[in-house]
Structure 1
Amino acid sequence: MSRRTKEFKDYYSILKVSQNSSQEEIKKSFRNLALELHPDHNPDDPESEEKFKEVTEAYGVLSDPLKKNEYDRFRADYHAGRTTGSSNFHYSQEDIFSSMF
């Protein structure tokens, strides 16, 4: 059995959507979670910033069709035991926010 070097992040679970969700559903869930978890709305929760970053990372991948396709292949390989939990998804935070507004 392969040794998993880094915890796998299930972006669908993080955004509380299914793999079959539309881009509209993914965006709606992201917006709701981002508002709920934003550090400015949770000044007494030291974990809110980390949760917000995780939700933003998940949206950054699932909102981009190419990254989502790559992630879906990686996720399938991970669940089949053909890869470790480490991944290399790169995106710009500015790209995410500019696509929202």
Structure 2
Amino acid sequence: MKNILLVCAAGMSTSMLVNKMEEAAKNKEDEIRINATSGGELEKYVEDADVLLLGPQVSYLLNDYKDKYANIPVEVINSVDYGTMNGQKVLDWALNLIEK
């Protein structure tokens, strides 16, 4: 099981991206769980995460989260992929980050 966690200001825009990523994940052999949350709710989910992806609107949190969650990859989602809700591309990138 691979766990991907997305975080943004309110968790709403990342929820739409999660839906697109889940569609893309149906074609993968691995079992993949993808969740979205707000920064305020992050602690509820981050313990199980294999990768933490930040929405561009909270990119200012990158260094803090990299320090706090040093045991997993923490990165900001490409703003073009985020804006176009390119679930396939974000999913492939997230899985690549987990494998590193």
Bin the TM-score by the shorter chain: 0.3 to 0.5
Structure with the largest fraction of strand: 2
Structure with the largest fraction of helix: 1
TM score, norm. by length of structure 2: 0.33
